[in-house]
Amino acid sequence: MLISYEPFWETLKKKNITTYTLINKYHISSATIDRMKKGNGISTMKIDDFCKILKCEASDIIKYIDDEKSPDQYA
């Protein structure tokens, strides 16, 4: 996995917002939260939604993890 949601969980904690609040107040799908907990992908639209709700940057939601593979492996 190259994308981590670790910053998202940290941002929630800093802003004192729970997943319960996201689901019930902001109508974020519990399936979206579950996907993030499992490290699965979410849409950029959802990242945008989280940025609006949490008043933060995308880097406060996701981060790229370099897996140290050479660029030739993607050619």
Give 26's DSSP letter.
S
Whose structure tokens read 């993890």? Answer: 65
Phi/psi of residue 23, nearest 5 degrees: -70, -45
**Residue ranges making up the domain that contains 27:** 3-65
How many angstroms separate the Cα of 34 from the Cα of each of 19, 27, 41, 72, 73? 10, 14, 11, 34, 31
Task: Look up the CATH number of the domain holding residue 21.
Answer: 1.10.260
Query: What are the tens digits of pLDDT across the range 27-63?
Result: 999 999 999 999 999 999 999 999 999 999 999 999 9
Q: Count up the domains in the chain and report the number.
A: 1
pTM for this one?
0.83
* Residue 75: pLDDT over 60: no
Q: Is 16 contained in some domain?
A: yes
